[in-house]
Amino acid sequence: MANYFPVSAVRFEGAKSRNPLSFKVYNPEELVEGKTMREHLRFAAAYWHCMRNPLADPFGAGTAIMPWDDGTDSTGNALRRVDVFFEFLEKIGIDFYCFHDRDVSPERATIRETEATFDEIAARLKERQTAGGKKLLWGTACLFSHPRYAQGAATSPDVNVYAFGAAQVKKAMDVTHALGGEGYVFWGGREGYNTLINTDLKRERDHLGAFLHMAVDYKKKIGFTGQFYIEPKPQEPTTHQYDSDSAACLNFLREFGLLNHFKLNLETNHATLAGKTMVHEMRVSRHAGALGSIDANQGTFGCGWDTDEFPSDLYLTTGIMLEILEMGGFTTGGLNFDAKRRRESFEPVDLFHSHIMGMDAFARGLKVAAALRADGRIAEFVRERYASWDGNLGRKIESGKSSFDELHAAALAAPDPTLRSGRQELLEGIVNQVLCQ
Ligand code: XLS
Ligand code: NI
Ligand code: NI
């Protein structure tokens, strides 16, 4: 078998290791709260960033060195990329992967030909999955690159474009199903508008609702039991995307009667773009029973771009893993590195350095999150903070059995309330104390 990366399999060597191609924290078999790190974290690599991202930016051409890629749309080139990608997964020790249809398989002159090529590539993906014990976390369709989708796909003003998009999703679902995918993602990059002046917002949202309903029907028809996810993002490439954040997505799903069929795939940098923290986005969807999967990356606050940096911020990874532990762990979801190396990190080995760093950051986040739960001081504080609600009056209100008359009487009878301190800084100090242990 060809050897595209001149490195050996990456292993855990512990905190003292100075070997750059080793894990310092991520120890796949180490138990945390009774489960191995590997089971908790369910890492996935993104095909698009690993294999298809040339590391270009709006000011300059791609810099990524990809000696295996001849730059053509030939099926042979696409098949070779599959081999390179699986060698990467095997050497880095990542169990899952995610792809868009067009990342793995090029578009041909007709839909029929495109589908035939896709079947050929899917067969190779399946072969490599089985050989290496790898799994597809989720598949998706790229409905944003081709010029026909310039004005949206499921929200296009043109019904024929809409049909094209549906055909593409149908096939991407077939392939995801055939590959045993655990999920399927809808990220509507252009499902929004650039200006309201030319946009029938009502019709576009209705069309998107209908599109997703047809996807649910088709899922049942083919017997695909994977989880459907919506991935929120507020803008970029459109000025406004209908699935702008967790709350907007949940409202959309509720409005169109789709809430039972979808969970959310949350991406850190999308939260940042929405002016929210990732933990906020996770908390909102967790309480709605809709926290599904994570696109792990990080961005720069206020920068306005989805810079998809590899996650290095331990405070962030701790917050994310705390939400996951509080949820009881992932079921179908996982941590997909929707992250790209910086344009300066153009060598193939940088794929390893970036994933190693991100995996160690999440392993540390997991350990700190578990330690915070074992420590218990923060949870105890929050319980105490709301303790007044555990009395008769609180219980009645919470169960919808009180009234303004009763509360008026209660307020008259009660002494003036005395608030207790929120102790934000004390609690932040506890997080830091545990993080540094
Ligand atoms: C883009 C999105 C995209 C989705 C999948 O910003 O993050 O990569 O994850 O279509
Ligand atoms: Ni993403
Ligand atoms: Ni993104």
DSSP 272-313: HHTTS-HHHHHHHHHHTT-EEEEE--B--TT--S---BPP--
Q: Enumerate the H helices of 52-134 as residue ranges.
A: 75-92, 101-104, 111-132
Structure tokens at 33: 């709260």
Kindly report the average pLDDT of the chain as a whole number.
97
Residue 367 vs residues 131, 325, 374: alpha-carbon distances, Å: 31, 11, 10
- Whether residue 3 is contained in a domain is answered as no
For ligand 1, is residue 101 a contact (CB within 6 Å)? no
Rg over CA atoms, the chain: 24
- Whether residue 142 is contained in a domain is answered as yes
CA distance linking residue 232 with residue 243, whole number of Å: 5
Of 375, 394, 413, which closes a domain? Answer: 375
CA atoms within 13 A on the CB side of 41: 33
Q: What ligand has the least distance to the C-alpha of 270?
A: 3
* Among 337, 155, 342, 308, residue whose Cα is nearest residue 238: 155
Of 355, 375, 395, which closes a domain? Answer: 375
Q: Tell whether 367 and 422 lie within a shared domain.
A: no
Give the pLDDT score at 10. 98
- Domain containing residue 393: 378-436
26 within 8 A of 361, measured Cβ to Cβ = no
Q: Regarding beta strands 183-186 and 22-23, do their DSSP bridges make them parallel or antiparallel, or are they unpaired?
A: unpaired
| Residue 361, number of CB atoms within 10 A of its CB | 23
Q: Tell whether 359 and 415 lie within a shared domain.
A: no
28 CB burial (10 A radius; 0-12, 13-18, 19+): middle
What are 210-222's pLDDT values in tens digits? Answer: 999 999 999 999 9
- Whether residue 6 is contained in a domain is answered as no
For ligand 1, is residue 243 a contact (CB within 6 Å)? no
CA distance linking residue 11 with residue 16, whole number of Å: 13
Mean pLDDT of 278-283: 98
Is the per-residue pLDDT at 1 higher than 70?
Answer: no
- Whether residue 329 is contained in a domain is answered as yes
DSSP 24: S
- Identify which of 138, 231, 335 to mutate to test ligand 1's pocket (most ligand atoms within 8 A of the CB): 231
| Residue 235, number of CB atoms within 10 A of its CB | 16
Q: Tell whether 428 and 345 lie within a shared domain.
A: no
Q: Tell whether 345 and 401 lie within a shared domain.
A: no
Which amino acid residue places its CA nearest to atom 3 of ligand 1?
A: 187
* Among 437, 364, 432, 372, residue whose Cα is nearest residue 25: 364
Q: Tell whether 328 and 386 lie within a shared domain.
A: no
**Residue 246 in 3-state DSSP?**
helix
For ligand 1, is residue 138 a contact (CB within 6 Å)? no
The answer to whether the pTM exceeds 0.95 is yes
Give the pLDDT score at 389. 97
CA distance linking residue 37 with residue 32, whole number of Å: 6
Of 356, 375, 394, which closes a domain? Answer: 375
Question: Of 49, 100, 207, 355, which one is the catalytic site residue?
Answer: 100
- Whether residue 343 is contained in a domain is answered as yes
Q: Tell whether 407 and 305 lie within a shared domain.
A: no
User: In the structure, what pLDDT confidence band is assigned to residue 415 with cuts at 50, 70 and 90?
Assistant: confident
405 catalytic per annotation:
no
Q: What is the DSSP string of 144-211?
A: SSSGGGTT-STT-SSHHHHHHHHHHHHHHHHHHHHTT-SEEEE--TTSEES-GGG--HHHHHHHHHHH
For ligand 1, is residue 185 a contact (CB within 6 Å)? yes
Q: Tell whether 85 and 161 lie within a shared domain.
A: yes
- Whether residue 5 is contained in a domain is answered as no
- Percent of the chain at pLDDT above 70? 100
Question: Of 103, 243, 308, 360, which one is the catalytic site residue?
Answer: 103
User: In the structure, what pLDDT confidence band is assigned to residue 300 with cuts at 50, 70 and 90?
Assistant: confident
| Residue 4, number of CB atoms within 10 A of its CB | 17
How far is it between the farthest Cα atoms of the chain?
81
Mean pLDDT of 37-46: 99
277 C-alpha vs ligand 1 centroid, how far in Å?
18
- Whether residue 211 is contained in a domain is answered as yes
Q: Tell whether 343 and 413 lie within a shared domain.
A: no
Q: Tell whether 106 and 156 lie within a shared domain.
A: yes
Q: Tell whether 153 and 259 lie within a shared domain.
A: yes
CA distance linking residue 104 with residue 310, whole number of Å: 22
100 catalytic per annotation:
yes
For ligand 1, is residue 295 a contact (CB within 6 Å)? yes
- Whether residue 246 is contained in a domain is answered as yes
For ligand 1, is residue 140 a contact (CB within 6 Å)? yes
Mean pLDDT of 36-59: 98
Whether the CA torsion 110, 115, 121, 123 is positive or negative: it is: negative
- Identify which of 267, 337, 340 to mutate to test ligand 1's pocket (most ligand atoms within 8 A of the CB): 267
Give me the amino acid identity at 420. Answer: R
* Among 29, 33, 31, 26, residue whose Cα is nearest residue 328: 33
Is the per-residue pLDDT at 14 higher than 60?
Answer: yes
What are 67-89's pLDDT values in tens digits? Answer: 999 999 999 999 999 999 999 99
Which amino acid residue places its CA nearest to atom 4 of ligand 1?
A: 187
Q: Tell whether 134 and 17 lie within a shared domain.
A: yes
**Residue 326 in 3-state DSSP?**
helix
Mean pLDDT of 157-174: 98
Per the structure, the count of domains in the chain is 2
List b or e across 339-356, with b for residues whose CB sees 16 or more CB atoms inside 10 angstroms. bbbebebeebebbbebbb
Q: Tell whether 80 and 131 lie within a shared domain.
A: yes
Cα angle: 163, vertex 166, 172; to 5 degrees: 145
